Amino acid sequence: MQHHYFIDSFKIRRWVPVLWILALLGIVLTGCTPTPLLVTPPMPYLTDEANVLSEAQRTELIDRLEAHNSTQVGRIFVLIIPKLPEEKTLEAYAYEKINATPLASGERNDRILILLPMEERQVRIETSQDVWERLTDEECTAIIQQQFIPQFKTGNYYQGLADGIAAIIAQLEAP
pLDDT band for 38, please (50, 70, 90 cuts). very low
pLDDT at residue 102, rounded to an integer: 76
CATH number of the domain enclosing 103: 3.10.310.50
Mean pLDDT of 28-56: 75
* Beta strand spans in 27-173 (E): 46-48, 75-81, 111-117, 124-127
**How many residues can be counted in the chain?**
175
pLDDT at residue 105, rounded to an integer: 74
90-143 confidence digits (pLDDT tens): 999 999 999 887 777 777 788 999 999 999 999 999 999 889 888 999 999 999
pLDDT at residue 174, rounded to an integer: 85
Percent of the chain with pLDDT over 90: 58
Residue 113 lies in a domain: yes
Report the number of distinct structural domains present in the chain: 2
User: Of the given ranges (19-28, 48-57, 164-173), which has the lowest mean pLDDT?
Assistant: 19-28
Domain that holds residue 1: 1-35
Question: Nearest 5°: phi and psi at 31?
Answer: -70, -20
Residues 144, 58 share a domain: yes
Residue 75 identity? R
Residues 83, 25 share a domain: no
pLDDT band for 8, please (50, 70, 90 cuts). low
CA atoms 119, 169, 76, 134: torsion sign: negative
Residue 18 lies in a domain: yes
More confident residue, 108 or 32: 108
pLDDT at residue 3 is higher than 70: no
